[in-house]
Amino acid sequence: MELTLAVIALVAVLGVALLRPRFQAVIAVPAAAVVILAGAISWQDAVAEIARLAPVVGFLAAVLVLARLCDDEGLFHAAGVVMARATTGGQNRLLVSVFAISAGVTAILSLDATVVLLTPVVLATARTLAVPARPHAYATAHLANSASLLLPVSNLTNLLAFSAAGLTFLHFASLMALPWLAAIAVEFVLLRWLFAKDLAVEPRRDAGTEPIELPLFALVVVGLTLVGFAVTSLLGLSPAWAALAGAVVLGVRALATHRTTLVRIGIAAEVPFLAFVLCLGVVVAAVMRNGLESSMHHVIPDGHGLVALLGVAAVAAVLSNVVNNLPAVLVMLPLVTPTGPAAVLAVLIGVNIGPNLTYVGSLANLLWRSVVGREVKAGFREFSRVGFCTTPLTLVAAVLALWAGLRLIGA
């Protein structure tokens, strides 16, 4: 009975999150309360789960605010100017610049910044240049997932895996550097092939003449924040302190120059989404404690070899497209953590690259669809067609790179 109730609660929470994301917290909070009151999970276990997720959620809030303040400083507008000026050699150079900027923004400021802040800039750049937006918009969609492998700060799933893997910030980044590069390279080759016809359109010759005005203060703060992530990790502190420091510095400057308000900063923290994450963790824990954990043990491969890592990543990718990547990582991490960091990182590859298969894979996909609106043909069939042409090869390439990195660096 408890398992049935917990599964119904999880389906309700995920259904609203996928179909009506604005109301995800409205459903998640009472769903968590119901599973607790019904005895599917004890108060003590629920509080323990919230306490485990709280530092990760706090970190996410700081990074979201930091990204929004960078936008207020003009960082993303400058990125658009850089992309427009890169068209002197045609659209292939534009695609290279979109890939480079998307990968950097995703890795440092998280995938949400790429979807919400960078994608509109890419669409505007395509309009200015009078070229099809599809290849460049799909690049931001796919890289928001695939290029989030590099750093613990790149994705909420990374933050969860980072705490489970027991690695330092630098060790995590060094192990994921090769999978990150492999994923980006394979995505570039395949998207360039898929959208060859669109990329053959020549951009306007009189576009891309706006001068580049880099927001140096914002770039310096982001750079120092990135260094802070590594330093705090080495000192045994949460990287959230570095993110908070960067957000405070940019926030004080933005308030002093009237670029933002306290209300805008509060909105940028996405408090309803943070509540959704905490309550989702409680609901998933209830499902795990009532039978799913034992069932999943029969599905996940054992071992540290290449075949085992491919199997773990594949299971994680499939699960992401069944229940979304956030519940997938919450389900799988407790199962693979005893095996060691290699399996944890393989799960991360699955839940980060796998969502490119379908819209269901991640909330970022649905957010991207709402951002591109009618400017890009992005129906379920079209998105899945592109995903099935790119995701399997990208997943395999990333796992092969992880396996090679583990042999070179060690876990």
Across 58-72, 174-188, 241-255, least confident range: 58-72
Burial 44-54 (b: 16+ CB within 10 A, else e): eebeebbeebe
Domain that holds residue 60: 45-280+291-409
Of residues 64 and 207, the one with the higher pLDDT is: 64
Beta carbons within 10 angstroms of residue 299's beta carbon = 13
Q: pTM, whole model, 2 decimals?
A: 0.85
Q: What is the mean pLDDT of residues 100-120?
A: 90
Per-residue pLDDT at 88: 65
Cα–Cα distance measured from residue 346 to residue 106, given in angstroms and rounded to the nearest whole number? 19
The tokens describing 30, both together, are 């009472």
Reference 53, options 162, 168, 143; nearest CA is: 162
- pLDDT confidence band for 112 (50 / 70 / 90): confident
Cα–Cα distance measured from residue 352 to residue 361, given in angstroms and rounded to the nearest whole number? 9
pLDDT at 294 over 70: no
In a domain, 404, yes or no: yes
Cα–Cα distance measured from residue 283 to residue 271, given in angstroms and rounded to the nearest whole number? 19
Of residues 225 and 205, the one with the higher pLDDT is: 225
pLDDT digit string, tens, across residues 207-231: 556 677 888 998 899 999 889 888 8
Cα–Cα distance measured from residue 85 to residue 80, given in angstroms and rounded to the nearest whole number? 9
In a domain, 28, yes or no: no
In a domain, 349, yes or no: yes
In a domain, 21, yes or no: no
In a domain, 263, yes or no: yes
- pLDDT confidence band for 351 (50 / 70 / 90): very high
Per-residue pLDDT at 150: 93
- pLDDT confidence band for 254 (50 / 70 / 90): very high
Across 144-153, 260-269, 292-301, 367-376, least confident range: 292-301
- pLDDT confidence band for 345 (50 / 70 / 90): very high
Cα–Cα distance measured from residue 196 to residue 191, given in angstroms and rounded to the nearest whole number? 8
Rounded mean pLDDT of the chain? 87
In a domain, 29, yes or no: no
- In percent, the amount of the chain with pLDDT more than 70 equals 97
pLDDT at 98 over 70: yes
Reference 155, options 385, 364, 404, 397; nearest CA is: 364
Structurally, the chain folds into a number of domains equal to 1
In a domain, 35, yes or no: no
In a domain, 38, yes or no: no
Per-residue pLDDT at 13: 83
Q: What is the mean pLDDT of residues 81-94?
A: 78
- pLDDT confidence band for 342 (50 / 70 / 90): very high
- pLDDT confidence band for 259 (50 / 70 / 90): confident
Per-residue pLDDT at 297: 66
Alpha helices in 73-215 (DSSP H): 75-85, 91-109, 111-113, 119-129, 134-146, 156-165, 169-194, 196-199
Per-residue pLDDT at 207: 59
Q: What is the mean pLDDT of residues 330-357?
A: 92
pLDDT digit string, tens, across residues 271-285: 888 888 889 889 888
